[in-house]
Structure 1
Amino acid sequence: MNRYIDKFTEEEILKVIKAYLVDGLSHRKIQSQILGLPAPDNGGGYVVMNILHYFNIKGDKKGILTSQNINNLIKNATGNYCMGLKKIKAYFLEETKAENIIKGLNTDNIINTEITTLTKQRVGQYKLREYILDIYEHKCALCDIDKDDLLVCSHIVPWRTDEKNRLNPKNAICLCAQHDRLFDRGYFSLDENYNIKYGVKADYKIINLLKHRNFRKPIENLPDKQLLKVHFDSYCK
């Protein structure tokens, strides 16, 4: 039994496999960029190497999915390698499904049982965040913060409370971490003209912080005004 498999989520493990089979990244880069673990020049990447070896993925398979069809590989694979490929295929299918939902396309023909519901949700969250950052041109809608690691795909009506609108791009706004926190906690919302509308908790400090801020509209899919009303009525009053 590989001692690292149970230490990471299914999503993290699949990201490791994908980074190796598709992107052709080194063990060290995957360990630092995907798992967020130290990967020194001497001996770095050991954790990733062990995860990949559990699925019988070694050096000859680095970047293999850039040149070979995954369905053909699955036909000829056995054991844990076959299982890993099937899960990666399921990961790809879930990415496609999420992209189709975001674009308003039909997803009835995409049936996926190889990965867990939690992993599917994580894939959907990632694809929505990717899309939202793109349409807001990788900048907070209320300030000039433009560093991706400081930007949040902020749901208007929270993910946990409205399954129907989870991947609705009109239910999300690109905000920096500070503005996302204030929005999420009901210190402010946006009115029907996308002007800042303060919640009852907003004191003069919060108002002074936000009073000169103007909403920067996305390239497409403006926030849904009805969902903004729900947000204000539910979290700001």
Structure 2
Amino acid sequence: MTALPVEWVLLAYYGPSAHRATYGRLGGTTYTKDYIQLSRKTDFTNALANLFPPPDEDAGSVSITYRWPQGTAPGAIVFQSADRPHLKWETSQGAPLAWKMTPEPNEGTAETIPGNPNHLDTDAAEGELELLQHSGAGQPYLLAIKLRGQPAALHVRAYLEDPTDRYSWANLDLTPPEIQALAQQTSQSSALAWSNFQSGGTEPSAAVSAALSELSASTNIEATIDSFDIDTGQALTAYLQDPAYGLFFDPDKNHDGWLQPTPLNNSIRGVLDELLEHLRAKFPTTSQSDAVAESLEVSPDDVAAFAKKIENGDYEVLDTYASTKTRGSAQRAFSKKIRENYSNQCAITGISTTEFLVAAHIVPWSQDQKIRLDPSNGICLSLLMDQAFESGYILIEDDLTIAVDWEKVGKDDSLRSQLEACDGGKLSLPKQHPPKPDYLRRRRELN
């Protein structure tokens, strides 16, 4: 995965309160929580409701998923409780592993904070907090990171302030100055700090950054652009149309995933329109057809990465990375999921011969970066049905009824005979992720 724009960060000082909340439920009165208490301040609660909007006015909580590189855990943001809002997790599972202790943490473990997490009595658990102060790990902080375009996920990490070299891989200094400033606002008595971030655009890949350096040093822009390969040219075009700004974080990385994009330098800004004109002429947009995309070259590593994104409910593919090979790799992962969902059969005709099947996007690839991998935005169709759907000869209603646009079919009797059998029929339902009515409406509006 690539770094994504950061929208909000919550930071908690790891003192007695956080320790007792995340260690586990031990009985008594102090180790009984399965949540971290949040602020009651109006600006905080308003921000929380905007970032994680409840399904309706009366909803007291919103389900979320805690994520870290090695796993996930279900949880919730509780807006209404006896005392104040809080971040909750499943009692039976305990706190997210990224916030828990482990005897020998390292960069490869989910956990960061050293300590024995297995005590069953309060005094021993309290002792682990005391031992932590002499472990060389320094002062821990718990982070919850909200990324743009992921409305139901929090990426959780723990960082260590002033650790010894043994724990340098989790040093708070690896975070941007803005995050370090949040840590300085906290203490044992005032444990929480948070901030919204204005971030957006698309992060430049290594290839894009190298291309920008070449252009900055070039005395012949057109000749330099002509030297780029198609993937670099298309990625550079997409980046220059929407350059990154603000703060980014790569959720596949543990502690070193932060990025602050460098603004375009003046030499590039001064010739931006000319650059884009040459780039668009030299590297026209990759074909968006799903059938064509299924025949494009792929990267096995990218296919695996996109499959993981689908599994994690992250369906965005940014235009900066939508080169020919990336488009093919994304389609390969998407197609595998869609075909499995529809039992390797066309949802209209029932055709099951692999060579005649396509994973068709409902909202086209070109229309929405955020849902390019969403299984609910795909239907398994035969080649003919895919082309008919792509071109608006067949429409699918919200209730999955298939309607043929006979005006478009016109006097083509052979095509009419092929489409008559499906007119008025129903799309076959997949095993999971049925088409979303909103996506179907968006597709109909395009025709």
TM category, shorter: 0.5 to 0.7
Aligned pair partner of 1:101 in 298, 302, 309: 309
- The answer to whether the 8 A contact 1:133-1:139 is kept is yes
Q: CA deviation at 1:228?
A: 0.5
Identity value in percent = 23
Q: Tell me the distance in 1 between the aligned counterparts of 2:326 and 2:378.
A: 19
Residue equivalent to 2:432: 220
Q: Tell me the distance in 2 between the aligned counterparts of 1:130 and 1:106.
A: 16
Which amino acid letter does the alignment assign opposite residue 303 of structure 2? E
Q: Tell me the distance in 1 between the aligned counterparts of 2:314 and 2:302.
A: 13
Which whole-Å deviations, capped at 9, do the CAs of 1:131-161 have from their partners, x for residues lacking one? Answer: 1111100100011210111001111111122
Q: Tell me the distance in 1 between the aligned counterparts of 2:358 and 2:314.
A: 27
Note if 1:231 corresponds to 2:438. Answer: no
Q: CA deviation at 1:128?
A: 0.7
Which whole-Å deviations, capped at 9, do the CAs of 1:32-69 have from their partners, x for residues lacking one? Answer: xxxxxxxxxxxxxxxxxxxxxxxxxxxxxxxxxxxxxx
Q: CA deviation at 1:215?
A: 1.2
Structure 1, 208-217 or 197-206: larger mean CA deviation: 197-206
Residue equivalent to 1:201: 408
Matched position secondary structure for 2:439: helix
- The answer to whether the 8 A contact 1:136-1:174 is kept is yes
Q: CA deviation at 1:170?
A: 1.0
Note if 1:129 corresponds to 2:129. Answer: no
Q: Tell me the distance in 2 between the aligned counterparts of 1:95 and 1:181.
A: 25
Q: Tell me the distance in 1 between the aligned counterparts of 2:313 and 2:430.
A: 20
- The answer to whether the 8 A contact 2:359-2:379 is kept is yes
- TM-score, normalisation: structure 2: 0.29
Aligned pair partner of 1:171 in 371, 374, 377: 377
- The answer to whether the 8 A contact 2:330-2:373 is kept is yes
- The answer to whether the 8 A contact 2:338-2:380 is kept is yes
Q: CA deviation at 1:212?
A: 6.0
What does 1:14-33 align with in structure 2 at a 5 Å threshold?
none
Matched position secondary structure for 1:174: strand
Matched position secondary structure for 2:446: helix
Matched position secondary structure for 1:160: helix
- The answer to whether the 8 A contact 1:101-1:168 is kept is no
Cα-Cα RMSD: 3.1
- The answer to whether the 8 A contact 1:132-1:153 is kept is yes
Matched position secondary structure for 2:328: helix
Matched position secondary structure for 2:440: helix
Residue equivalent to 1:190: 396
- The answer to whether the 8 A contact 2:404-2:423 is kept is no
Which amino acid letter does the alignment assign opposite residue 208 of structure 1? E
Q: Tell me the distance in 2 between the aligned counterparts of 1:107 and 1:183.
A: 22
Greater percentage in strand: 2
Q: CA deviation at 1:191?
A: 1.0
Which amino acid letter does the alignment assign opposite residue 304 of structure 2? T
Distance 1:176 1:116, change over 3 A: closer
Residue equivalent to 1:40: none
Q: Tell me the distance in 2 between the aligned counterparts of 1:154 and 1:201.
A: 20
Q: Tell me the distance in 2 between the aligned counterparts of 1:189 and 1:212.
A: 10
Q: Tell me the distance in 2 between the aligned counterparts of 1:117 and 1:234.
A: 24
Note if 1:157 corresponds to 2:363. Answer: yes
Which amino acid letter does the alignment assign opposite residue 231 of structure 1? R
Which amino acid letter does the alignment assign opposite residue 225 of structure 1? P
Q: CA deviation at 1:202?
A: 4.4
Q: Tell me the distance in 2 between the aligned counterparts of 1:178 and 1:156.
A: 15
Q: Tell me the distance in 2 between the aligned counterparts of 1:221 and 1:212.
A: 22
Q: CA deviation at 1:100?
A: 2.5
Note if 1:147 corresponds to 2:353. Answer: yes
- The answer to whether the 8 A contact 1:141-1:217 is kept is yes
Q: Tell me the distance in 1 between the aligned counterparts of 2:356 and 2:435.
A: 21
Greater percentage in helix: 1
- The answer to whether the 8 A contact 1:153-1:175 is kept is yes
Structure 1, 220-229 or 192-201: larger mean CA deviation: 192-201
Matched position secondary structure for 1:197: strand
Q: CA deviation at 1:107?
A: 9.4
Q: Tell me the distance in 2 between the aligned counterparts of 1:107 and 1:198.
A: 30
Which amino acid letter does the alignment assign opposite residue 309 of structure 2? I
Q: CA deviation at 1:92?
A: 4.7
Matched position secondary structure for 1:210: coil
